[in-house]
Amino acid sequence: DIGIAMVLANTYHLYLRPGVGVVEKMGGLHKFMAWDKAILTDSGGYQIFSLASLRQVSDEGVIFRSHIDGSQHLITPESAIQFQEALGADIIMTLDECPAYDDSLEKVNRAMDRTHQWAERCQRAQKRSDQALYAIVQGGVFPQLRRQSAEYLTSLGFSGYALGGLSLGEPKKATLAMTEETVTLLPENKPRYLMGVGSPEDLLEGIARGIDIFDSALPTRVARNGAFFTGQGRRNIRNTGYSQTEQPFDPECDCYTCRTFSA
């Protein structure tokens, strides 16, 4: 109803449950989801790196414990590509190391170097020619590392480029500054993807800076906590004024929800 052209599926969660093999056996994600438009899968790297106490990182890959049952797993750049090819998305992502926003320059530099090594391994591991492989620019909040990462990855000739490691708690000013720093170094004729950003105002800020693709769990997280976005800003459904109203969430909106339900 709102014209969404692409959805994101999470490789980490699909790998753990129901399992990549189950989705592949059922014909891939498009059939599994009954979705005939585009699908993007992430590599699972962000979710793994958010499990700080449950994972170990080496040049080979990442060993992590499932948040579901504690079982141990190894994800490598090669297996990340293998899983995403089996899932059958239209756009797939390289495995990257995502540092914390307040990590030191030295630590972020190491993560960036490993991200570059893994990107090359992902590129070599790709077998399907009908999936676009995007690389992920890292570098934290350090402009010189962002430049270095963008220049290195663009030299490898990926189908698109993502900005990773942002919107992780750093000041909004830093997010926008790193976005500007990076976007100017990415090819204008290839998609540019700002990962993990999803508030209405952040979408506008990103678009103004040349970003084409966004993803975020923010809309569903906001909804789970009883809030919603309107043309006048964010509102809380738990406010007493909404308990008896027959008005829609946003009188100026013509989406299905606002046309059909009261707040």
Residue 111 to residue 89: CA distance in whole angstroms = 26
DSSP letter (8 states) at residue 27:
T
Q: Is the dihedral of CA 215, 220, 226, 232 positive or negative?
A: positive
pLDDT at 241 > cutoff 90: no
* Lowest mean pLDDT, pick from 116-120, 207-211, 221-225: 221-225
Region 45-54: mean pLDDT is 77
- Burial per residue of 13-44, b for 16 or more beta-carbon CB atoms within 10 angstroms, e otherwise: ebbbeeebeebbeeebbbebeeeeeebbbbbb
Per residue in 133-176, pLDDT (tens digit) is 999 999 999 999 999 999 999 999 999 999 999 999 999 999 99
Q: Report the catalytic residues.
A: 42, 215
Rounded alpha-carbon distances, angstroms, from residue 125 to 88, 94, 118, 151? 15, 10, 10, 22
Q: Which residues contact 172 (CB under 8 A, 6 or more apart)?
A: none
Region 8-16: mean pLDDT is 95
Three-state secondary-structure class, residue 111 = helix
Tokens 């270095």: give the residue.
148
| Of 27, 133, 139, residue with least CA distance to 80 | 133
pLDDT at 2 > cutoff 80: no
Please give the backbone phi and psi of residue 129, each rounded to the nearest 5 degrees, phi first.
-95, -5
40 near 5, Cβ under 8 Å? no
What number of H helices and E strands is found in the chain? 11, 12
pLDDT at 207 > cutoff 90: yes
Q: Is the dihedral of CA 29, 77, 198, 181 positive or negative?
A: negative
Per residue in 74-88, pLDDT (tens digit) is 999 999 999 999 999
Residue 157 to residue 147: CA distance in whole angstroms = 16
Residue spans per domain, the chain: 6-216, 217-263
96 near 138, Cβ under 8 Å? yes
Per residue in 102-115, pLDDT (tens digit) is 999 999 999 999 99
Tokens 């350090």: give the residue.
142
* CATH of region 6-216, choose from 3.20.20.450, 3.40.50.300, 3.40.30.10, 3.20.20.105: 3.20.20.105
pLDDT at 33 > cutoff 80: yes
Q: Where are the beta strands (DSSP E) in the chain?
A: 6-9, 38-41, 55-57, 62-65, 72-75, 91-93, 132-137, 160-163, 192-195, 213-215, 227-230, 233-236
53 near 104, Cβ under 8 Å? no
Q: Which residue has the higher pLDDT, 64 or 54?
A: 64
pLDDT at 49 > cutoff 90: no
